[in-house]
Chain A
């Protein structure tokens, strides 16, 4: 296969991390710009090193792009399209967990998150999804909270059990 026929390598997604890293480095330098020189030194050296590496990488990508070896496509970045919606909802459920855990506590949040995730990801029948989620949440509660007295977020379930026993 000649150089011309070879498919272009999609590198669009590869630029996300260096771009974010460079943005953070610039923000970091900005956040210390009013500090005394001594306090700026280590951050400035680190940011300089990171920005230099990112610049070299961008030059490399630009050269490859100009030579026709690279494209700005995302490639396999988001994974198989068939499961994309399910994985997207799973991500939103994870964010939802952060919002409800202060009120529901560990056990109820874990049960809710597991059972809805199983259903969204295609576990059937529903009774099996609920049974596995319930067993998982209760086992976690027994091991981490009852047995190890771990500092997990508490909610109505933990407080009720504490009050009864």
Chain B
């Protein structure tokens, strides 16, 4: 049953009255999102004493505002220095950073902010109306479907992130292999840990993220004086007029923002399939439907809009399975779940019966936080783009100093800083030789999840591997997976063949008669 419109209006009005907690949360979230290793869930963990002390409603609003803002902030370093602040912004680097290198940082930031704010707002509004229906999707995704969804996501990343699909697949499979490190799920015995006790729980994700993206980028960055080449370097900061013009121009892409946000929302509802997968799927779909697919990866505006809109569409989606069935859709949702459990808030159908205003109120708060982010866009576009003119001899040491110690934060192990360095070396080799680091990272994230779902499916079926082909949704996803691997080479062959035919026909036409 849909909530009545007047009640929804009341919830949104009430969310606006909590502006005093939202604005600081947005400011912290923007900064946290922009610093690799200080993603939303880490920041919420750091601020846990604060959220536990607050009233449950205020704590929830604080967490969702911070979460939404961190997704916006994550795109900033992805565009300016090729380091995604969050995993969901990894796809943004594909076109965002090339735009920066072409001297279009202001435009890329404007596209990023508008796509993020509008995408997040649209998905929050859609969720408000569709929550009762969306909450049902999680019921249809079981272990078999999860295995295929995750392999599908990885195959998409491998096929689009790397220019060479075989290299992309090797990177993804290497990431999966690294992700399978640690104690096995049945007998709790260590596998592939080199004897390190600290790796028994698997590869720590924050150090892996920091190493693959931040440390490797710092070393690649040092090979030139500034992030942008001398010829593309802006001589003066963008004026307020230019910043505003770029922001208003970005609104012209409203249709792409809308459908990629909804795509992100749907993917976000699937437990385990978070912003990283959503942003890559949106990127691939945008490229597939684009009139200029060959421009993707070279600094194409559509390549910035798709992942940013989708990863902000995910923010509301990940809360749906948490609210509806008590299964967190992502790491931030998991942290929120812990805080809500501390406050004794029920999940699932009981939540909608006992405290419906909380279930709908959290989504309304998300919509309002995106509205409150709008004024932040103008100064951010104007001043953030100046980062690219900072000399790399300053930028690289700062990146290493602050992100390396960020690897220490989640577990408090000095060992994790060494893990970050090890992944930094892997990332450097990958960057310099065309193995996309995003494919490795997503493999590392998905490795343990795929293994868990795979083992569960095998246990349920008494070790019959045909269980992976036993569900209609799963089979449909298998077909999509095969298509996602076969279509890119097929379409590029088709395009080359068309170009050759055109050249031959043109050659005949040019011949003297």
Contact = CB atoms under 8 A, between A and B. Distances in A.
Interface of A: 13-14, 16-18, 20-21, 24-25, 27-28, 31-32, 35-36, 38-39, 41-43, 46-47, 49-50, 53-54, 56-57, 60, 76-77, 79-80, 83, 86-87, 90-91, 94-95, 97-98, 101-102, 106, 109-110, 113-114, 117-118, 121-123, 132, 136, 140, 148-153
Contacts of A46: 173, 176-177, 180, 447
B394 A94 contact: no
Contacts of A149: 46, 49
Interface stretch (B55-63, B317-325, B396-404): B396-404
B216 to A, nearest CB: 11
Contacts, number: 169
Ranked nearest first, the 4 interchain pairs of A and B with the lowest CB-CB distance are: A117-B397, A28-B192, A79-B223, A121-B393
B482 to A, nearest CB: 15
B166 A153 contact: no
Nearest to A34: B189
6 contacts: A16-B433, A28-B192, A32-B192, A41-B463, A90-B396, A97-B404
A36 B189 CA distance: 11
A152 B167 CA distance: 37
A16 to B, nearest CB: 5
Interface stretch (B233-241, B326-334, B405-413): B405-413
B177 A28 contact: yes
Contacts of B454: 42
Given A91-B219, A94-B421, A114 B173 contact: no
A36 B184 CA distance: 11
B184 A122 contact: no
A88 B180 CA distance: 32
A101 B192 contact: no
Interface string B424-435: 001001101111
Given A42-B455, A152-B405, A153-B405, 10 more contacts: A13-B432, A24-B174, A50-B177, A53-B173, A90-B396, A98-B417, A121-B222, A148-B46, A151-B409, A151-B412
B170 A39 contact: no
B219 A17 contact: no
Contact of A17 (B171, B176, B396): B171
A118 B392 CA distance: 10
Interface in B452-466: 454-455, 458, 463
Contacts of B396: 90, 117, 121
Contacts of B191: 28, 31-32, 35, 43
Interface of B: 46-47, 49, 166-167, 169-171, 173-174, 176-178, 180-181, 184, 186-187, 189-193, 215, 219-220, 222-223, 393-394, 396-398, 400-402, 404-405, 408-409, 412, 414, 417-418, 421, 426, 429-430, 432-435, 447, 451, 454-455, 458, 463
A151 B174 CA distance: 31
A31 to B, nearest CB: 5
Contact of B187 (A35, A110, A136): A35
Nearest to A132: B394
Contact of A83 (B176, B223, B401, B414): B223
A153 B190 contact: no
B174 A50 contact: yes
B432 A114 contact: no
A136 to B, nearest CB: 6
B213 to A, nearest CB: 15
A24 B192 contact: yes
A98 B424 CA distance: 14
A15 to B, nearest CB: 8
A122 B225 CA distance: 11
Contacts of A106: 405
Contacts of A77: 432-433
A110 B401 contact: yes
Given A50-B177, A113-B401, A114-B398, A56 B166 contact: yes
A43 B181 CA distance: 9
Task: From B166, B180, B433, name the one whose CB has the most chain A CB atoms within 10 angstroms.
Answer: B433
B187 A36 contact: yes
A123 B393 contact: yes
A55 to B, nearest CB: 10
A131 to B, nearest CB: 12
Given A17-B435, A114-B401, A31 B414 contact: no
Contact of A41 (B169, B409, B458): B458
A114 B397 contact: yes
A101 B414 contact: yes
Given A14-B434, A17-B171, A132-B394, A32 B166 contact: no
Contacts of B400: 94, 113, 117
Task: From A14, A17, A24, A25, name the one whose CB has the most chain B CB atoms within 10 angstroms.
Answer: A17
A160 to B, nearest CB: 19
A107 B430 CA distance: 32
Contacts of A98: 414, 417-418, 421
B407 to A, nearest CB: 10
B414 A14 contact: no
B163 to A, nearest CB: 12
Contacts of B222: 79, 83, 86-87, 90, 121
A39 B184 contact: yes
A24 B190 CA distance: 15
Nearest to B187: A39
Given A90-B396, A121-B393, A76 B432 contact: yes
Given A60-B166, A90-B396, A98-B421, A24 B219 contact: no
Contact of A31 (B176, B190, B398, B434): B190
Contacts of A121: 222, 393, 396-397
